[in-house]
Structure 1
Amino acid sequence: MITVNVHEAKTHLSRLLAKVARGDEVVIAPVQKARRMDDLLGIDRGRLWIAEDFDGPLPEEIVAAFEGRSENPP
């Protein structure tokens, strides 16, 4: 099954009709309206916690493992 939006269906109607003629199923779905950014900002406020040092330097043994210098890879 192929799902396309209305714009794509208008643009490629001949190609889609050929697929239907071959027995493929084509679904034309409406374009979803985009949400305003104001509706999304702060949606998870109070639900997440990030450590103060989340972007601090990694321990040397982890850096060494990433760089392939570790004798005992994790």
Structure 2
Amino acid sequence: MDNHRVAPRHRVLKAGSIEFNGGVVDCTIRNISDTGAQLEVASQIGIPDNFWLVISGSHTPRHCRVAWRNDKRIGVAFD
């Protein structure tokens, strides 16, 4: 399943926030690599296909585009 990834993902459990058009949604980063991440959210309602991911403890937001969605998880690619 992971063979198609450009970079290996590392399991993490970090707090983050999804920021878009003045809106903010809290999330948990479940895994991350240089090219993307898997996010867990309470609800996907209102989360657009492109947004900024702010990782707690990091001062550099990452621009993301949604690669996939299911239930309460979102797979993103970093732009």
TM-score by length of 2: 0.15
TM-score by length of 1: 0.16
Structure with the largest fraction of helix:
1
